């Protein structure tokens, strides 16, 4: 897809907020399994949680992973615990596991819309990592407010630079290695998004990815960078699915980086780029990461 078609859509993704709000939201994914380890059909889970307090926030990933996408909150981890408990009371005989990789080797594709079928076909041309990512991985995604002005540019940079260290600190699986293998042209687990103007570099990134859905907006939705621009907020996508106590610690670190000008600028002066492969291989110094 041509950069000139993509640029207006990308500019909207980088619009940023008009004020310095400091909200946090969580998107928590769970591996879903029957007590005996069997696959649970998505429709069965939908019926079980219908009418619950959590139901408005529930969606699903291609392999049947459940995602709980919560709105911004002053106590996001408390809300996560409460709504997860609400779901668990309704899912008798079904477990929700905050684990980054489903141990079952053969998980079917449950979402078979044209988008997901096209995505699977595309990833299959590259290797097995795409199916593994779509069907068997789960993450904790943390959304943070994106500020106007120079501070917002710093926020974008610091999340991309600190990402490998945060992954090394919190992740505990090979899920990140899977992401690095899926399709480098659309995942950008490197430093390509840190060169020059952010809108221009992201547009070039999008233009370099294979198109398998219609329209610029649709194409942009098939990109999976470690930090995704979402207009007025940034979505941190590189963390494994974490238990609540680790979610709380990760949020504290991200708030420190995003909302403290002095700390953010200090970190920006210190961190090099291009360390995603080292993080995935477990080669980053854990003391430095901490």
Query: Do the beta carbons of residue 249 and residue 212 sit within 8 Å?
Result: no
Give the 3-state DSSP-derived string for 12-78, with helices as H, strands as E and coil as C.
HHCCCCCCCCCCEEEEEEEEEEECCCCCCCHHHHHHHHCCCCCHHHEEECCCCCEEEECCCECCHHH
Give the per-residue pLDDT at 115.
96
Find all residues with CB under 8 Å of 133, minimum gap 6, and list them.
123, 178, 179, 182
pLDDT exceeds cutoff 90 at 273: no
CB 162 within 8 A of CB 126: no
pLDDT at 277 over 60: yes
Which long-range contacts link 204-207 to residues 24+ away (Cβ below 8 Å)? 204/3, 206/1, 206/3, 206/6, 206/10, 207/1, 207/2, 207/3, 207/6
Helix (H, G, I), strand (E, B) or coil at 233: strand
Residue 286 pLDDT: 65
Read off φ and ψ for residue 70, nearest 5 degrees: -95, 145
pLDDT, one tens digit per residue, over 107-118 is 999 999 999 999
Ranges 122-131, 155-164, 175-184, 264-273: which has the least confidence:
264-273
Q: What is the pLDDT of residue 274?
A: 80
**DSSP class per residue in 129-180:** HHHHHHHHB-BEEEEEE--SHHHHHHHHHHHHHHHHHHHHHH--SSHHHHHH
CA angle 238, 244, 245 (to 5 degrees): 100
Q: Note the pLDDT tens digit of each residue in 74-106.
A: 999 999 999 999 999 999 889 999 999 999 999
Q: Are strands 66-69 and 58-60 parallel, antiparallel or unpaired?
A: antiparallel
* Residues 130-178 pLDDT 10s: 999 999 999 999 999 999 999 999 999 999 999 999 999 999 999 999 9
pTM of the model: 0.95
Band of pLDDT at residue 282, cut at 50, 70 and 90: confident
* DSSP, res 195: S
Q: What is the pLDDT of residues 23-67, one digit of tens each?
A: 999 999 999 999 899 999 999 999 999 999 999 999 999 999 999
CB 83 within 8 A of CB 53: yes
Q: What would the two tokens of residue 92 be?
A: 């008798």
pLDDT at 287 over 60: no
């Amino acid at each position: 897809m041509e950069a000139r078609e993509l640029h207006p859509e990308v500019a909207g993704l980088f619009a940023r907020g008009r004020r310095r709000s400091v909200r946090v939201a969580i998107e928590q994914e769970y591996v879903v399994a029957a007590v005996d380890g069997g696959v649970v059909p998505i429709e069965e889970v939908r019926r079980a949680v219908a009418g619950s307090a959590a139901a408005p926030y529930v969606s699903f990933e291609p392999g049947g992973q459940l995602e709980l996408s919560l709105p911004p909150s002053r106590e996001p981890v408390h809300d996560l615990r409460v709504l997860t408990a609400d779901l668990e009371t309704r899912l008798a005989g079904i477990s929700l596991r905050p684990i980054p990789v489903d141990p079952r080797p053969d998980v079917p594709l449950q979402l078979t819309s044209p988008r997901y079928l096209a995505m699977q076909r595309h990833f299959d041309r590259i290797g097995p990592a795409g199916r593994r990512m779509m069907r068997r991985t789960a993450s904790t995604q943390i959304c943070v407010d994106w500020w106007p002005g120079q501070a917002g540019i710093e926020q974008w940079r610091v999340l991309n630079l600190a990402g490998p260290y945060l992954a090394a600190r919190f992740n505990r699986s090979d899920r990140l290695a899977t992401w690095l293998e899926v399709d480098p042209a659309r995942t950008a687990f490197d430093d390509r998004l840190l060169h020059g103007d952010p809108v221009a570099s992201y547009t070039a990134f999008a233009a370099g990815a294979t198109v398998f859905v219609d329209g610029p907006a649709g194409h942009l939705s098939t990109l999976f960078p470690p930090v995704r621009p979402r207009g007025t907020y940034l979505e941190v996508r590189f963390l494994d699915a974490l238990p609540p106590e680790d979610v709380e610690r990760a949020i504290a670190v991200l708030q420190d980086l995003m909302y403290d000008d002095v700390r953010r600028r200090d970190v920006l002066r210190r961190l090099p780029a291009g360390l995603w492969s080292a993080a995935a291989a477990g080669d980053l110094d854990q003391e430095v990461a901490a």
